[in-house]
Amino acid sequence: MIAFTRWGLLFLLVAGTFLVGQEPSKPEPNPAIKKDENNKKDDVPPPKTKEDLTGKGDPMPPGETKVGPGRGIKPPAQVVGPEGKPVTGSTGLTGMMGSNYQPPTEVGGKLLREWVIDLRSADPSHREQAIRAIASFGPNAREAIPQLVERMADRDSSPRMRAVLAIKYMDYYDKDIPKVVDGLAKRVSEDPQAAIRYEALMALGRFNYQEGGRTALPAVLKVADDQGNWEVRRSAYSILPKLGSDETGVDARVYKALINGVKDTAARARHEALIGLALLGKPNDPVLATQMEKALISVLNTRDIPSEIFARVALIGYNSANTKIQMPLIIKHVRDTDFAHRMIAIRAVSMLGPPAHESVPDLVVYLNDKNPELIMSVCMALTSMGPDAQRAADPLRQFLSKKEIPDDLRSAASFALDAVTRRRFNVTNPNPPR
């Protein structure tokens, strides 16, 4: 089992296997969302069926038009944790710690119910302290979710921010999901503080379409055009594919927002929009498909190398037949003398996974580099390719034979070696809806 060091955990959370042109399967349930055993009726409305979406059942939400499932590159894989369950950013801190984690019964000499009372204090510093303490109770803090949702609308921005941050990582009962999503959506669309809007967006990234995330889609689409803060736009682009799509299709508004994002003036926001399009793939709406393809091709004619790389990834997601042309042009940047371009190219081959296996000879050279960030990225890329990167096995063994290697790099290299030498991955991908 891999040691969960700081960088090692980061690696585990983002490492993944990406395959081209595969249909999404039924998503795994979110371990962060707990059933309320005292409430047998599920308060979360069921996802729309295909009959619903074609007009034979209940009407779709206002403004929503599905354009059919895309067939882009596969979403990030989930990593099996200590208990054999997927460990992702959506499981909450409890999910990362495993079932052996024992939450405290008291924090700062007070019980949970006492801290909940302090949430109503007239002193904003006391309210913020109470939020911090409640979050420390682990899964037991689920009882206080309704009160924390109320604090997300606090008149003072400090407890308001602290409540959003707590909600971002805590576990929930399923009956509380609608109020959590609604509270976060209000912060996204109404909060005057850009930092709070940003954190609320990141918290919404824990939910997918079926788990209630679709109700926040209008708010996220709104801030995807927020010209006052590029980080807010980037965060919106990053979660739109998850909130606006399921196995029955993709909301057309998501495609339109991401296609507009390809022209974003902020490079890093632009990159996120391109990655979103890569995940979604080609829409079955001919007008949107033409707009998407033109937008991607237009990027190739610029001198922005990072955007060009991600546009080529998206063109592969748009049509796997583009792999033969686009892959060599991506791989050549793995050898780029510019460090930033090289890192982005390595990230790109990580996203593409097995089809990028021709990059292995170029990647393993960097195992001898002195830059730990570069080595970590190489290990992530090799892991994503699995047995298709079997040629990396001996270079990885040579790297691991070195005596003085930081623990996080040793864990990452061991994980990569395991992935490239086994038919059965330690990385699993239930392929959640896109």
Residue-wise pLDDT for 230-256, tens only, equals: 999 999 999 999 998 887 888 999 999
Task: Report how many domains make up the chain.
Answer: 1
In a domain, 233, yes or no: no
Q: Are 350 and 382 in contact (CB under 8 A)?
A: no
Q: What is the CATH number of the domain that holds 362?
A: 1.25.10
Instruction: Give the three-state DSSP class for 251.
Output: strand
DSSP label at residue 21: S
pTM: 0.77
| Cα separation, 376 vs 212, whole angstroms | 35
In a domain, 241, yes or no: no
54 closest CA partner among 67, 45, 63: 67
Is residue 221 assigned to a domain? no
Whether residue 247 lies inside any domain: the answer is: no
- Residue 56 CA: distances (Å) to CA of 28, 50, 51, 60, 210: 27, 9, 5, 10, 19
Q: Is residue 301, in this structure, part of any structural domain at all? A: yes
Which residues in the chain show pLDDT less than 70? Answer: 1-101, 423-434
Name the DSSP class of 110.
B
Name the burial class of residue 63, with classes exposed (0-12), middle (13-18) and buried (19+) by CB atoms within 10 angstroms of its CB: exposed
**292 within domain boundaries:** yes
E strands, 223-266, in order: 245-246, 249-250
Distances (CA, A) of 122 to 111, 125, 151, 157, 390: 20, 9, 12, 14, 62
Q: What is the pLDDT of residue 246?
A: 80
Residue 349's nearest CA partner among 302, 392, 383 is 383
Distance CA 246, CA 185 (A): 20
Per-residue pLDDT, 99: 55
Does residue 417 contact residue 397 with C-beta atoms inside 8 Å?
yes
- Per this entry, what is the length of the chain? 434
Q: Please tell me the predicted confidence (pLDDT) of residue 63.
A: 55
- Predicted local distance difference test score (pLDDT) of residue 305: 95
The domain of 323 spans 6-90+287-428
Residue 124 maps to a domain: no
**HSE of 226 in the Cβ direction (CA atoms, 13 Å)?**
28
347/274 Cα distance (integer angstroms) = 13
Instruction: Note whether residue 70 is domain-resident.
Output: yes
Amino acid, single-letter form, for residue 203 = A
